[in-house]
Amino acid sequence: NALTGSPGDCQPCPCPEQTSCAQVPVTGEVVCTNCPPGRRGTRCEICDDGFYGDPLGRNGIARPCTVCDCHGNVDPNAVGVCDHLTGRCLKCLYHTEGDHCQHCQQGYYGNALDQNANKCKPCSCNPAGTAGDLDDCHPHSGQCFCLGHVTGRDCGHCRIGYFNLRPGQGCERCNCNPIGSSS
Amino acid sequence: PRPDITPLPAGTHLLFAQSGKIEHIPLESQGMKKSEAKTLLHLPGMVVIAVAYDCVDKMVYWTDITGPSISRASLSGGEPVAIVRADLESPEGIAIDHLGRNMFWTDSMRDRIEVAALDGSKRRVLFDTELVNPRPIVADPANGHLYWADWNRDAPKIETSYMDGTNRKILVKDNLGLPNGLTYDPRTSLLCWADAGTRKVECMSPSQGDRRKVVEGIQYPFGIASSGRNLYYTDWRRDAVLAVDRSAGKEMEEFLPQKRSRLYGIATAYAQCPSGQNYCAVN
């Protein structure tokens, strides 16, 4: 029974690190049966789930299989976490995105490399004081893009010296007479 | 490449997935015949997660997350055939209704449970709401019930419904963590699960709700299957199949595959189908 590990015609197995092989009965194809850690495939040429690389260099320079690198933003209980060749992370959590879950998603801001689950927070730009998209804010500071004389991270209030935040228009100057007022 | 199968000797077997292959271990009354364990199918391009068995036609079914696809092959020789290829993202659980001749599967990225005939035709979404990380699914064809688990860290649960999708309800929601494996034993009517968060194997009769712990302090279970007095689960830390005696409540045996890598789903390939009648056969 060729599926129990006897190499065909007593030739050495064409498998890395002298690991074993077996010969499929009908087709005579030789399959490596005990690939080195992190590898699978008929010649151990593909990385196991949870790893990425190109151990035999079939698609360019040989790259050993290394653990998926998603900056801790994928669940350890998940499978199929990264692409076995490119390492692109496929299941980013906590509103992160990017090939290695290294950015916050569009519509969120913060540091995707932080430890806490609240690393990427929603922009939630104030509709009254924001110019343009309410999902558009600076990816790190979260600063929304405000209308004239409006301030605050979420463009929620008027700058000092201004008042009357009107949706779509911004704030008006106070125009207090400097002689009679304290501010 | 066309992987092939060695016809299985008579008797009941365990089938389990290990990255690019499906392995089998013959069972005897006390446990695993470890020296006769062999590779059943080499599937080098696939990452096989869930495995299930149709005892009528003696075919093994499995899900592959790289295609992604759902495929099957006959245990008596023959090529694997992909029967579902479209509209899948991360199929991580599969169950066979050998009486109704249907299969059910979970998809953890599309957040759905679907049903189709065993050849992949007549496909229909059964549930697409309130599922976050659905993974294991099992069928009780004799009574027409379906059971599945969701390892959503915010609200893990084990649910049930009739096989037509009606009467969906939560069976277990307290004291769960990561219920990765689920198995139903028709002989004893026991639903058992393995949880990598609570690190326990527990069982319950769904009709009575009498939940009890079988073992605790286990490492990291993924899949679980039952046969006779034992439960068999695959473990991500030990890279092994462990046999647990359900009544004694302790680990009896350990099987370490030749290739030391992660193990995934496990299923029992019964020598004979469990008894039961298909009440829908006339329709």
Residues of A in contact with B180 (CB under 8 A): 77
pLDDT of residue B162: 97
**pLDDT (average), residues A21-44:** 83
- Cβ distance A50 to A69 under 8 Å? no
Residue of A nearest to B42 (CA): A31
Percent of chain A with pLDDT over 90: 62
Report the pLDDT value the prediction gives residue B5, as an integer from 0 to 100: 53
Residue type, A132: G
Decide if A1 and B6 are in contact by the 8 Å CB cutoff. Answer: yes
Full-model pTM: 0.90
- Record: contact A75-B45, CB cut-off 8 A: no
What pLDDT shows up at residue B79?
Answer: 86
Residue A9 pLDDT grade (very low, low, confident, very high; cuts 50, 70, 90): low
ipTM of the complex: 0.93
Percent of chain A exceeding pLDDT 70 equals: 93
Q: Determine the pLDDT at residue A141.
A: 95
Q: How far is B100 from chain A (nearest CA, A)?
A: 30
pLDDT score, position A5: 52
Say what the pLDDT of residue A156 is.
93
Residues of chain B positioned with their CB less than 8 A from the CB of A37: 260-261
CA distance B65 to B50: 10
Give me the phi and psi of A17, to 5 degrees please: 55, 35
Using the structure block, give the residue that is written with the tokens 């991500």. B236
**What integer best gives the mean pLDDT of chain A?**
89
Partner residue facing A42 (CB), from B44, B90, B153: B44
* pLDDT given at position B259: 86
Q: Residue B276's pLDDT band (boundaries 50, 70, 90)?
A: confident
- Distance, in angstroms, between A31 CA and closest chain B CA? 8
Cβ contact A41–B44 (<8 Å):
yes
CB contact under 8 Å between B259 and A35, yes or no, is yes
The per-residue pLDDT of chain B, averaged, comes to 93
The reply to whether B123 touches chain A by the CB within 8 Å rule is no
B256 in contact with A at a CB cutoff of 8 Å? Answer: no
Which residue shows structure tokens 């007022």? A181
More confident residue, A135 or A11: A135
Residues of A in contact with B3 (CB under 8 A): 24, 31
pLDDT band at B75 (very low <50, low <70, confident <90, very high): confident
**Residue B95: pLDDT over 90:** yes
Predicted local distance difference test score (pLDDT) of residue B1:
34
DSSP symbol at A35: P
B280 confidence band (pLDDT: 50, 70, 90): low
**Is A137 within 8 Å of chain B by CB?**
no
Cis peptide, bond prior to residue B186, ω within 30 of zero: no
Tell me the C-alpha distance between A111 and B273, whole Å.
Answer: 55
Q: What confidence tier does A1 reach under pLDDT thresholds 50, 70, 90? A: very low
Query: Is the CB of A18 inside 8 Å of chain B's CB atoms?
Result: no
